[in-house]
Structure 1
Amino acid sequence: MKLSPPTTAFEPGKAEPVAAWSEAAPTPPPRPERRLLRFVRHPFTWCVLLPTALVAAYFYLVASPQYVSEARFVVRSRADAPQLSLGAVISAAAGGGGGATAEANSVRDFLLSHDAVMRTQDRIDLIAMWSRDDADFYARLHNTEPERLTKFYNSMVSASFDTSTSVTTLRVRSFRPEDSKAIAVTLLSLSESLVNSLSERAREDALRIARAELQVAEQRVAESRAALTRFREQQQDLDSAGTATAAASTISAMESALTAANAELRERMAFMRPDNPALQVTRNRIAALERQIEVERARRTQGEGTLAQQLGNFERLMLEREFADRQLASATASLEAARVEAQRQQVYIARVVEPNLAVYPLYPRKLISVGSVFLGLSVAFGIGWLLVAGMREHAI
């Protein structure tokens, strides 16, 4: 049986004792110093707020301003002439831009390449521009090796190609406005040189085959004419065809004379005695004509070096010369057509926006950078906090 605690009379000046079995008195509210201490010791302060404050201090107190120079250009060819066709109308309605897309992509890749860095460094001093003393330590260029320089270059230079308008945008950042503009102007000049070299190479490739065919045709014409000249010198005859025609005319004339002599002989035999001297003269003339005709025919058709062989060789050489002349004419026309097509396919850069001289620094983007750091750390801290709470809950 539990006894009640003893009681005492009320004594003035003494506080009334608190019963041992009574409820505990409420805790007093925490002091402000303890709240501040808890805030300082909280992991959120060390993991999120402190890094964000350091980043904000860097961007607003230390970071150097960076100026942007922007240029825009279009890579076009002479073949991009407007055409009134259904396909062109549909492409224009859909927002499709003209221009040489493959060459534009090549120029964009060149602007972001190691070769562009080295060529730009040869023309202007990129290292001196990006490692100036007035730039902050974190943002400036520290390593001058080609690979490190290219990496830093790609962080300061950007090139983008818009497929809908075929416009390439070049953006260059540096710590001074004049440096950004100088770099952009140099890169545009290098891009134009690249496009010109590509056009010249494509033009030479297109014309090389046509020129080779023309050279072969010219060689064939020269050889055919030389062979014809040697043949004429050997035969001592300028026109074998004319000689053959003249020989045929001669034989034809002698055959006509023979026919006339035979007719005359028959006519005289009708009224003259067989031993008449006139008949003998006619017979002698007929025999002479027959022998001469046989000699002429044998000379032109039998043995080596006859007129028939001469005429055959002459006609073959003339036919070869005619074919060579036709081949030369065709090769010349092909070369001219290839030259016109190469000029039509020539690619060039049309500047839409010239590099500007910046007045206000667009970088670094302070508010966006600080906000991104705070948001990222907050999300990471929240995920970590949930993981730790889950592990503690499973441990219990």
Structure 2
Amino acid sequence: MNTQAPPPVTDDSETSVQRLARQTAVHSRLRTRHKGLIASLLFVVVLPVVLTSLYLALLAQPQYASETGFVVRQEESVSASQMLGGLSQVLGTPSASNSDLLFEFIQSQAMVRRINDELGIVGHYAQFWPLDPVYSIRPDITIEDLAQFWRRMIRITHDKSSGVIMVEARARDAAMAQQIAREIVAQSEAMINMLNAQARRDSIANAEADLDQALSALRSAREALVAFQARTQILDPQADIQGRMGVVANLQQQLAEALVDYDLLLQATDSTDPRVRQLDRRIRAIEQRIAGERASYSSDGTTEDADSYPSLLATYEGLRVDVQFAEEIYRVSLTALNQARTAAERQQLYLATFISPTSAETAEYPRKVLLVALTAFFCMMGWSVGALVYYSLRDRG
């Protein structure tokens, strides 16, 4: 039986698997969408990173930073009158939000305007315009734009629990940065002094107003008491009633003596004796007088409206209490005014600077590596999201 030998295998021959792989490689060439994706990567990521790097390396000017730290403190000593009680509420205490006010003031247009008037920061930050447009300003900048640029050049941190304020000022040179930091401290102290002056004026004005009101109330209470005494013709109802009770006691003693004499005379004579009739008339007169004095306790016939004596006594006690209360309020108001004047002579608020403005030796800003890395990160994130959204919409379409 004849057998046919297989064809010889040479090195130039290729298997079917190799041919399929070669054909697949030919068909997997770059297409238009791949080129667009690479172009978008170059345009969205590579180009911004390159431009940012070139700008920071060639155009961005170095910046020096000066740091300072301070806190708003208030006087913690307690005066003798406050230890006696109550006057701290009358006078009031400085608000705990003074550090918050100072934090907002440092970022305000008022602070920018004052520092510009003192140091001319517009000319300082505009010296490299338009070479460095990102970290420079126009010479004819408005106050609103200057305030926005100021918030970029000044970094402020505020701890609300302790009231500590940290300020970092940046400038083209170390001397200017230190001067800006010192001026911020000086303007902050001026603001604290203004708050002190305003608090002193308000405290004294309120104390004087309270004293005038207390004096007016005391005058009215005393006038009402004097008018009552003039109407009733009784200076002191309590003393008057004590005097009347003394009269009654004296009459009762005379009545007792007359009764004893009457009994003794009846034992010695009969009722027809003229002395007996005379003693009898004396006894009846004393009894009528005692009854009249007792009746006067409930009705006073000396007044036109015939007020009852208990009513007069109650009215007098009410007027006397009003006078005593008005006198006490007047004494407290007078003490509060003296305390306010004493406190006005002291510094209630002051700025405690625990870090003096520093002088930089190296330019820490702009932080080029960090800015380039952030630019690359955000551009890459934006490009990735855009590519995912594009292909998702394309596959669904």
Per the normalisation by structure 1, the TM-score is 0.62
Question: Which among 108, 111, 115 is matched to residue 116 of structure 1?
Answer: 111
Tell me how far 1:71 sits from its aligned partner. Answer: 0.7
- Residues 218 and 323, structure 2, Cα contact 8 Å, conserved in 1: yes
1:133 Cα deviation after fit = 6.0
How many residues are matched? 328
Which of the two has higher C-alpha Rg?
1
**Counterpart contact for 2:68–2:168, Cα < 8 Å:** yes
2:226 is aligned, of 229, 234, 239, to: 229
> RMSD value over aligned CA atoms?
5.0
User: What pairs with 1:223-372 in structure 2 (closer than 5 Å)?
Assistant: 223-297=220-294, 301-303=299-301, 305=303, 308=309, 310-325=312-327, 348-369=350-371
Partner of 2:127: 132
Partner letter of residue 109 of structure 2? Answer: H
Cα pair distance change 1:273/1:358, threshold 3 Å: same
Q: CA deviation at 1:272?
A: 1.7
Task: Provide the secondary structure at the position in 1 that maps to 2:157.
Answer: strand
How far apart are the structure 2 equivalents of 1:270 and 1:380? 135
What is the CA distance between 1:170 and its match in structure 2? 0.6
Q: Does the 8 A contact of 1:135 with 1:175 survive in 2? A: no
Residue deviations 1:200-222 (CA, integer Å, cap 9, x gap): 87899999999877766554433
Q: Which amino acid aligns with 2:360?
A: A
Which residue is equivalent to 1:188? 185
Matched residue SS, 1:364: coil
Report the residue type matching 2:151 in the other structure. N
Distance 1:289 1:164, change over 3 A: closer
Q: State the 1:108 CA deviation.
A: 3.1
Per-residue Cα deviation, 1:173-228 (whole angstroms, up to 9, x for no partner): 11233322222222223334545666787899999999877766554433222222
Unmatched tracts of structure 1, length 5 or more: 1-41, 81-99, 341-345
Q: Which amino acid aligns with 2:319?
A: L
| Aligned residues with identical type, % of pairs | 25
| Alpha-carbon contact 1:47-1:377 (below 8 Å) kept | no
Partner residue, 2:150:
153
**One-letter code of the match for 2:136?**
R
Query: 2:34 maps to what in 1?
Result: none
- Counterpart CA distance in 2 for 1:298 and 1:263 is 26
Asked if 1 retains the 8 angstrom alpha-carbon contact of 2:129 and 2:137, the reply is: no
Residue 266 (structure 1) shift: 1.6
- Amino acid in the other structure paired with 1:150: A
Is the 8 Å Cα contact of residues 195 and 348 (structure 1) preserved in structure 2?
yes
For the residues of structure 1 that align with 2:118 and 2:326, how far apart are their CA atoms? Answer: 53
- Give CA deviations for 1:290-327 in whole Å, capped at 9, x if unaligned: 34435545556354626825444323322333444566
Contact 1:65 1:175 in 2 (8 A): yes
Summarize the Cα distance change of 1:178–1:49 in structure 2 as closer, same or farther, 3 Å threshold.
same
Alpha-carbon shift at residue 127 of structure 1 (Å): 1.8
TM-score, length-scaled by structure 2: 0.62
Write the distance in 2 (CA, Å) between the matches of 1:209 and 1:53: 66
Q: Which amino acid aligns with 1:125?
A: G
- Post-superposition shift, 1:172? 0.8
Residue 381 and residue 71 in structure 1: after superposition, are their counterparts in 2 closer, same or farther (change >3 A)?
A: closer
